[in-house]
Structure 1
């Protein structure tokens, strides 16, 4: 199997990092836009889509800055991450998503994230 590549997506967001972080790091927040159902136990999140469940462990986080998940079925060095950054000049909030995909799947995966983020922005009132 081909080794997956890390890719990064950036989205400007009109909301406070505190509110955005809630949508990225809590079961209730993630359930609003990322998955049909989200549960968390002992730092392991269970994401459910159309009845299929995927589990991801929180491997690193910093309050209101970023949260990194590792899919339990994926190789150890792969992860997906939500990071909140501020631009220096305009002080605009930027949502940075990092994920892994095979080279030929990056475009499709990016479109999937685009769709998910659009849902997130709708929930945030952006």
Structure 2
């Protein structure tokens, strides 16, 4: 079954440079995304309870975005991305998550991201 691409936008009261550290570094990701995160070159290992998932770093652009691809989904076009967007007029900062999920799992995936981002906001006091 093909995966469906979706995006969710979250307003976050934080500077782009601080926010970037939370999704582009292993220590930042450990704060809110996974129990433990290890990095070996372009491969990042994420640990939750008794499970481990590995992803490749596709793109990192300082204070702008980081894109990862799960190793288990190398056969498809899917990825997950954290992108910082700053409104030119108001200077409001938003974090835009792009991810892919099977059609019957999109809503569940969105809810998971909402919970994760709530944890992130709590950690950074946003």
TM category (shorter chain) comes to over 0.9
Look up the match of 2:56.
57
- Alpha-carbon distance, 1:49 to partner: 0.6
Matches of 1:34 and 1:42 in 2, distance apart? Answer: 19
Matches of 2:5 and 2:102 in 1, distance apart? Answer: 9
Look up the SS of the partner of 1:118 in the other structure.
helix
Look up the SS of the partner of 2:81 in the other structure.
strand
Kindly indicate whether the alpha-carbon contact (under 8 Å) linking 1:36 and 1:50 is maintained by their aligned counterparts in 2. Answer: yes
User: Which residues of 2 match residues 1-126 of structure 1 at below 5 A?
Assistant: 2-74=1-73, 75-126=75-126
Moved over 4 A (4+): none
Q: TM-score, normalised by structure 1?
A: 0.96
Matches of 1:53 and 1:102 in 2, distance apart? Answer: 21
Matches of 1:17 and 1:76 in 2, distance apart? Answer: 30
Look up the SS of the partner of 1:89 in the other structure.
coil
- Alpha-carbon distance, 1:104 to partner: 1.3
What RMSD over aligned residues (CA atoms) do the two structures have, in Å? 0.8
Total equivalences in the alignment: 125
Kindly indicate whether the alpha-carbon contact (under 8 Å) linking 1:67 and 1:83 is maintained by their aligned counterparts in 2. Answer: yes
Q: TM-score, normalised by structure 2?
A: 0.96
- Alpha-carbon distance, 1:76 to partner: 4.0
- Alpha-carbon distance, 1:88 to partner: 2.4
